[in-house]
Structure 1
Amino acid sequence: MGRPKAKDEPSDTPEEFSVEKILDKRACNGKIEYLLKWKGYSDEDNTWEPEENLDCPDLIAAYESQFDTSTSKDQDDSEKVHKRKDISEDIRPRGFDRGLEPDKIVGATDASGELMFLMMWKNCKEADLVPASQLNGRCPEVVIKYYENKTPWICKESVIEID
């Protein structure tokens, strides 16, 4: 799973890892993942793991409680905190605003009413939905390559004539 490799353990022994701390949370392919700090390992060995693979409900609850606003004095304050959180998530840079170089398009959707491409970036494992209009202007060669890979091509040699 991307967990750190245990040192000096025989390969036939199942490896057991202990989570020291949960550092972050994200949704990836519709599933919740947590960024974990492993006990006895450096920060370089931190990994994203799906929630269903974890056996540390106390750490998950402690992490989630940092963001729980249900203990606010009144409902209005609670709603303001939620709104601020939503705004801060929207402010997080996406697409070209992250200063990354485009690698390839891995999918497309028009579910929002606008054609969007799912763009993978060079030296980054996270993808972003980017408006097609933005990609057409900034990296048309990547868009063309996506369409070329998705378009069925007929070569003259492969055409069979029926008499």
Structure 2
Amino acid sequence: MSGRPRSLDRRLRRVADRVGFALLWGWILSSLFFAPTLLGYWWVGALAFVAGLLVCWQAAAASTHPVYVIGTRREVDRARIADPGRTCDECGRSAEGGEYRRYAKRRVLFGTTVAVPEWGENAYCPACLDGESDGRRHAADESEGDATLVTDRSRPGP
């Protein structure tokens, strides 16, 4: 057996998340319908309900977190690099065998991502992953066969 052990808590969370989503949007949609209807404008309530249903459909498709999540969330996805043509963003060498990272800062409202103000991608060679470069670029000196340390001038100094 491989992977994460099976447990009941993950299934219960998924069910609770879906029930919470349904209750939240059920309350919103009923409010959109009944508030104008109580004031005598049933057709405004019907139009607001249909518009709310479309927004609910989009929110369900855009859900990235459980329904109780509100605020800013940061995430990083990592994957191994198999492409020999990809270069390291830190030192400029080939990043084959290193790590690819995609990061994002999301603004989440009731489990739905409403904005992604920061995101990006980075590739690191195995040497930079091990902390060998420490924020500096390495350039291979092929004539002598040893590595020469070159300071990265693209970043502001201390």
TM-score band, normalised by shorter chain? under 0.3
The TM-score, its normalising length taken from structure 2, stands at 0.22
Where relative contact order (Cα < 8 A, 6+ residues apart) is larger, the structure is: 2
Q: Larger Cα Rg: Structure 1 or Structure 2?
A: 2
